[in-house]
Structure 1
Amino acid sequence: MTKIKSSFVAKTFLVCFVSVHVPLIALVAYLSMGFQLSTLSVFLLILVATLVGTSLCLFAIWRLIRPLNLLADAMKRYPEDKGILKMYPASPDEIGTVTDIARSMLLQVETLTKQLKHQATTDFLTGLGNRRALMEQMPIIRAKAARPEEAVSLILFDLDHFKRINDEYGHDAGDNVLMAIGEAVKDHLRPYDYAARMGGEEFCIVLPGADLAAAETVAERLRHAVESRVVEPLPKGRITGSFGVAQARPTERLQELLLRADAALYSAKDQGRNVVVRAQP
């Protein structure tokens, strides 16, 4: 019995065998009850028994292949509905095995997709987002802030004379500096802020719900945190950053906001570096 339950072929054969013999079973039962035979009665009996057997066969086959239909429907809906990941084998036969394998493979695909997306949107040195991630997250942040009409501000900064650090102390020391700055940025983020390394030694922080004055305060705290970081063999105070702060206008695109913050950053460099400068209105 266990072998029959675990074999789709065996169950199909059993259903077909029983269904085909329904007319014979009906005829034997008819005769055993002592009814008299006539051509018409035998014809009607065989006809009805055949219809019953066919109906039972179709119903049983439908029940057997229903899990396969459910699997096919779940596979079709998979891009929009991940319900197949919650499916479990409906039976221990081949269809149940296929369902289990399909579910396991898709779980692996989901895990791999998440890993690849994380790698594609995360800076491997600092653990912050990268430029691509910022481009994806900024419209979402702006949309959330637009509903309660909250301000959104942006801090753009880069490390002063970073190329000299690489030249004087080596690229390993430069990487250690970037990782230290990444930790400093994380320490000053609120749960709903977003930070990204834009490339090289340039970083960007998006502050939902913060106006220009609040963003400037955050930037000043971060400037002190950067200045106080010590990464051997660099002396204390060797690591500094120049900061540009800008508040997003209601219809301003990200590139325009970055340009204004970038202009403020270069103004900070012109003012001697290691300072925070507001973007021009």
Structure 2
Amino acid sequence: MQQACLPIRSIATRKEATMTNGMRERPHLGPALLGAAYFALAAASILLTRWGAQIATMWPAGGLAVAVLTSADRAHLRRYALAVATGSLTANVVCGVPIGSSALYTAANVTETLLAVLLLSRGPFGGPSFVDARQVARFCAIAAFACLVSTAVASADTAWSDWRFSASWFAADLLGMVLAAPLVFLWLERDGGDTTSALTRNGAGMFALAMGGVAIVTSTVFAQSSLALLFLPSAALIAAAHATGPLGATAGTLVIAVIGSAAIASGQGPTMFIHSGPSEQTYFLQFYLAVLMGCGLSMAALQTARDRLMADLRNQTRLLSMAERVAKIGHWHLELATGAVTWSEEVFRLHGMDEGHEPSLATGLAAYHPDDREQLGAAIALATRTGDAFRMRARLIRPDGEMRYVDVSGEAIVADGVVRSLFGVLQDITRQVEIERGLEASREEALALASEATIRAETDALTGIANRRRILEAIDAAVRDAAASREPLSLAMFDIDHFKRVNDRHGHATGDAVLQGVASAAKAAVRGSDLVGRLGGEEFLVVLPGASQAVAMAIAERIRQEVRGDGREREGRPPVTVSLGVATLEGGEDGAALMRRADLALYRAKAEGRNVARLAA
């Protein structure tokens, strides 16, 4: 629904910005027009009153004055206030009201106008919009307060003893202000923008048609006095409010008020059923108009709220569709009672189907890869029975054969403890899966390269066993583990006897082959938990975790025998022997000390004839 009236400050700004040069040069023209209009409305209200009532049914001149003064240039506010006073005093005097009462009533009218203008101009919203419920409520509250003060001033004419006079004055003032002010605000807006677009939700044509309908129905009802048909103007007003919004409710009530006041003044209308007199008929009409205004504005407020909700819903739906397209996410809904399936636009796109296709649970499941179809169907069945949510990755096969990876999830919608439907989300994660696979392949390749680099960094290139760096690190780690577990630890250090002769007699290539053969023989002789490494040249070291002196000597003897073999050449290599030194870790000893003792035992084995194993002291 289009806003019926812009905030007051906006109206004033736009009006001043578009005012003609002639109006700028003649600022007295505005107050003069206001004074004339105020006089005409005030005189009409008084003349339409039954002379016995001595009070107008409503006072639209007050609404006119409040709207104009609120929108006027503050520099000319005094002139406008003087115009209101002049119009009020003149109307009362011309219509036969005593001069003293006329002056008092004029003071009341000017007071309410200035008070309302002051309060409206200081509001947090900048003025009423007559569409927003908070601003309408604020405007009505300010109007009621200003009219209450005006009533207190005017009631001095009766020494505050006639409550009917006070009640009727208050009702007439309030009705006139809340009915006339919105229309005047809108009229003042015409210079600052497209008035037609601001009139109603459906345009000026609909507004005119609605007001014409209200006028025809009301005139027909108030033209006769035999039937109490006051419900018909109410129905017409509600229809107008439904079609044209808050402005239609306000303007329609004003139309009914004018026609009703004229009918009462002429002694006609359904209010003639009230036989107490003109005053009571006027009170009834005021009450009737207040009820109409309340019903009309309530209907208009509901209509406005509905229109705004619908507009918000359309906008949210549009934004949701946009977000789904960008994120490649769609939503689906399964109604269990009917089996009806609803897909969003993006779900159709993911399936490679036109939106004209009518989806079903069976066709939806059939689109998935056979290996995923059964799992997804079981998840949906479980959710319908227990209400458990589910989420899984699956492969979607489109009609053109293209396979898309999707993340499908669903939740149960439960009412009265029963699962009524399922709502879920479908997201295209094909690109994500491709990236994940690429990352996994890269990770595996990196791990393989890292493992290969580690092996190369810790492996002796010639023999394939642990190199010096690796074996020394293993000794330190084994010493720490032995100290923590209180398990024995032994080392066996050995080298090849007379290896220099092998190189000198057979060449370095044969020497390398001998080193490789000795390394293989040593690995074959040790346990699975032992580590054989090459310290350099023809010198080797074996770490024997958990091995006592006896076990270590037995392993050393196996190594010696495995290397010596049966004394014959093996694979073209000359036969060789090794000498070994064995040392077992003692309390408080570190790896370096343990190696020194094993080295001393090795030297003793060489000194005692070689091809033997000796235990360190």
**Equivalent position of 2:491 in the other structure:** 154
Which of 424, 433, 458 in structure 2 is aligned with 1:121? 458
Q: 1:47 aligns with which of 289, 295, 312?
A: 312
Cα deviation 1:41-95 (Å, max 9, x = unaligned): 322322244346556766886786xxxxxxxxxxxxxxxxxxxxxxxx7656333
Which deviates the most, 51-60 or 158-167?
51-60
Q: Does 1:258 align with 2:595?
A: yes
TM-score calculated relative to the size of structure 1: 0.68
TM-superposed deviation, 1:207: 1.1
Identity of aligned residues (%): 35
Aligned with residue 556 of structure 2, among 219, 225, 230 = 219
RMSD (CA atoms):
3.0
Question: Structure 1: how far apart are the matches of 2:321 and 2:501?
Answer: 84
Q: Distance in 1 between matches of 2:538 and 2:496?
A: 6
1:81-160 correspondence to structure 2 within 5 Å: 93-160=430-497
Paired residue for 1:17? none
Residue among 574, 578, 591 paired with 1:241: 578
Residue in structure 1 matching 2:527, options 172, 190, 195: 190
- Aligned-residue offset at 1:97: 2.1
* Aligned partners of 1:177 and 1:231 also within 8 Å: no
2:446 partner SS: helix
* Counterpart amino acid of residue 248 in structure 1: L
Q: Which residue of 1 aligns with 2:211?
A: none
Q: Of the two structures, which has the highest relative contact order with CA contacts closer than 8 Å and spacing of 6 or more?
A: 1
Q: Is the partner of 1:204 in helix, strand or coil?
A: strand
Q: What is the CA–CA distance in structure 2 between the aligned matches of 1:109 and 1:264, rounded to whole Å? A: 44
Contact 1:244 1:265 in 2 (8 A): yes
> Which has more radius of gyration?
2
User: Does the 8 Å contact 1:131/1:199 carry over to 2?
Assistant: yes
Indicate how the Cα distance of structure 1 residues 37 and 255 shifts in structure 2: closer, same or farther if over 3 A, else same.
Answer: farther
2: CA distance between counterparts of 1:255 and 1:134?
12
SS at match of 2:581: strand
Q: How many residues align?
A: 221
CA deviation after TM superposition for structure 1 residue 172, in Å: 1.3
CA distance in 1, matches of 2:478, 2:322: 58
Q: Which residue of 2 aligns with 1:25?
A: none
**Equivalents in 2 of 1:100, 1:203: separation in Å?**
45
The AA in structure 2 aligned to 1:44 is L
Give the Cα–Cα distance (whole angstroms) in 2 for the partners of residues 134 and 37 of structure 1: 94
Q: CA–CA distance in 2 between the matches of 1:55 and 1:143?
A: 63
| Alpha-carbon distance in 2 for matches of 1:255, 1:59 | 68
Aligned mates of 2:580, 2:243 — CA distance in 1: 105
Residue 164 of structure 1, aligned match among 467, 490, 501 = 501
Q: What is the TM-score normalised by the length of structure 2?
A: 0.33
What do the CA deviations read for 1:231-280 (whole angstroms, capped 9, x no partner)? 465654xx121211101124322222112211221222222322222222
Cα 1:92–1:265 change in 2 (3 A) is same
Rounded to whole Å, the distance in 2 between the matches of 1:42 and 1:163 is 103
Q: 1: distance between equivalents of 2:325 and 2:476?
A: 53
Question: Offset of 1:185 from its aligned partner?
Answer: 0.6
Q: Describe the shift of the 1:185–1:235 C-alpha distance in structure 2 as closer, same or farther (beyond 3 A).
A: closer
Structure 2 vs 1, CA of residues 53 and 124 (structure 1 numbering), >3 Å: closer, same or farther?
same
Cα deviation for residue 36 of structure 1 reads: 6.3
In the other structure, the counterpart of 2:269 is: none
In structure 2, list runs of 5 or more residues that go unmatched. Answer: 1-241, 246-302, 330-404, 407-427
Whole-angstrom distance in 2 between the partners of 1:147 and 1:256: 18
Q: Which amino acid aligns with 2:557?
A: E
CA contact (8 A) 1:169 1:233 kept: no
Amino acid at match of 2:533: A
**1:173–1:232 Cα contact (<8 Å) kept:** no
Letter in 1 for 2:532: A
The alpha-carbon deviation at position 204 of structure 1 amounts to 0.7
Q: Distance in 2 between matches of 1:121 and 1:164?
A: 29
AA aligned to 1:212 is Q
CA contact (8 A) 1:176 1:231 kept: no
